[in-house]
Amino acid sequence: EHLAFSGVLANGIVHDFRNPMSSLRLDAQMLEKEAARGAEARPARMGELSGRMRHTLDRMEKVFQEFLVLARPGEAAPERLDLAACAQECLDLLAPRFEASNVAHELRGPAEPLVVRVSAAAVKRALLNILLNATQHAGAGGRVTVALARHGAHARLEVGDTGPGIPKADRERVFEMFYTTRPQGTGLGLFLARTAVEKNGGTLVAADPEGPGARLRMEFPLAEKEQA
């Protein structure tokens, strides 16, 4: 069991570092192309790309710290997290992936904040994995939508895409370790996402989509003050 856990942990590290590394590589390639324009290079565009690269490196450092916490006994202390702000941060981090894949994205949310008590780092990482999965399946010209709403005493966050969708028979299997339908997939993204969500008192399921594509639904109890 210890060896199996070590293997899962090692795969998780590779998976969680490969995502930001891919974004960093894409931004570096775009920065190189912009610099090659010489006198026609746009300083504002170069500054934007450099800023995104710095933000990605900061995120990688945070992920590294998360695994250090995971390697030590105990759990990260829960803290108040605004799900809409978390979703926006994740979308910003994946901006180079959306741009390179020609996938549009949007965030829909209520006027009031949806605050939950969770390990913020773990939930952000889970949402990044879900968004990356949606981006990969949406395809060029597709769209990824993040919708937030209050559902009774719970905060609900749904990620939808315009891809081929998930057959009903596979809606539970997609969360199994190493299950993937993509040749280059690791089968760890959604498994790690559900594990993180459930450890923080939430649920993650594949819900019925409103139209074509897939819809993943994440729910957490609202923080005490917001419930009242």
In this structure, which amino acid lies at residue 143? R
Residue 36 has a pLDDT of 92
Q: Please give the backbone phi and psi of residue 226, each rounded to the nearest 5 degrees, phi first.
A: -70, -30
Instruction: Report the candidate in 78, 60, 57, 75 with the shortest Cα–Cα distance to residue 13.
Output: 60
Give the span between the Cα atoms of 33 and 56, in whole angstroms: 19
Give the span between the Cα atoms of 218 and 195, in whole angstroms: 12
Give the span between the Cα atoms of 52 and 92, in whole angstroms: 8
Residue 100 has a pLDDT of 86
> Which pLDDT tens digits describe the chain residue by residue (228 residues)?
667 666 766 776 776 777 788 888 999 999 999 999 988 989 999 999 999 998 888 878 866 765 665 555 445 678 999 999 999 999 998 888 898 889 999 999 887 889 999 988 889 989 998 998 899 888 888 999 999 999 999 999 999 999 888 888 888 888 887 766 665 555 677 888 888 899 899 999 988 887 788 999 999 999 876 555
pTM over cut 0.85: no
Q: Which helix (DSSP H) or strand (DSSP E) does residue 115 occupy?
A: strand 115-118
Contact 107, 162 (CB under 8 A): no
Contact 66, 106 (CB under 8 A): no
Residue 73 has a pLDDT of 43
Contact 90, 127 (CB under 8 A): yes
Strand partners, 150: 155
Strand partners, 217: 158, 205
What is the residue-wise DSSP string for 30-56? HHHHHHTTGGG--HHHHHHHHHHHHHH
Residue 57 has a pLDDT of 87
